[in-house]
Amino acid sequence: MKNQKGFSLVELLVVVIIIAIVAAIAIPNLLASRRAANEASAISTLRTYHSAEATYQATSGNSTHYGNETDLAGLVDAILAANNPTKSGYVFDVTVDGTGPTDSTNYCATATPSSQGSTGTRVFGISGDTGGVIYGSLPGVGTAAPTDAPTCAAGVFANNASLPIS
């Protein structure tokens, strides 16, 4: 019996505890990196919407009118051309200030986390009135939405004390 080789129960427990400590340190950092990537994707998508709106206004909008998500089909990918699309953990909403592409003189778009605190902590927005400047809220706490989140209502943008993204 004394010639048996292997690990004792104490040695195995020490290894399991070390692995648990490393995981406890690494997992929060991994989730934070994922949220940061989702937020960067949301900002990039809002820039895509802004470029598409400029192209739409110059071509189909007779240099004065903007379009909503479905009007931008062909200028953005199929996911973004749907009504209130979700991409990379964010829900996007593009609204115009008129009832359609023939009477809309402004647009605004927002990006809101689909699961606040999990897929993202900030809300972003852009408008034709902002000249392409994207505004972002401060991070929300836990699952609570940020209080300074930019909003859109019928094409009217309110930055609500959110800050421009540089």
Q: Which two tokens stand for residue 21?
A: 């400590």
Give just the sign of the alpha carbon dihedral 157, 160, 161, 163. negative
pLDDT digits (tens, 9 = 90+) for 136-146: 999 988 888 89
| pLDDT value, residue 50 | 95
Please provide residue 19's backbone torsions phi and psi, each rounded to the nearest 5 degrees. -60, -40
Residue 1 has pLDDT above 60, yes or no: no
**What is the C-alpha to C-alpha distance for residues 111 and 119, in angstroms, rounded to an integer?**
12
pTM higher than 0.75, yes or no?
yes
Mean pLDDT across 33-52: 96
Complete DSSP assignment for 63-121:
TT----TGGGBTTB-TTTTSSS-EETTEEEEEEESSSSTTS---EEEEEEESSBTTTBS
Q: Which two tokens stand for residue 148?
A: 């300074």
| pLDDT value, residue 44 | 96
End-to-end CA distance of the chain: 70
Residue 64 has pLDDT above 60, yes or no: yes
pLDDT digits (tens, 9 = 90+) for 112-135: 999 999 999 999 999 988 888 999
Residue 52 has pLDDT above 60, yes or no: yes
DSSP 27: H
pLDDT digits (tens, 9 = 90+) for 4-28: 788 889 999 999 999 999 999 988 8
**Domain residue spans in the chain?**
9-164
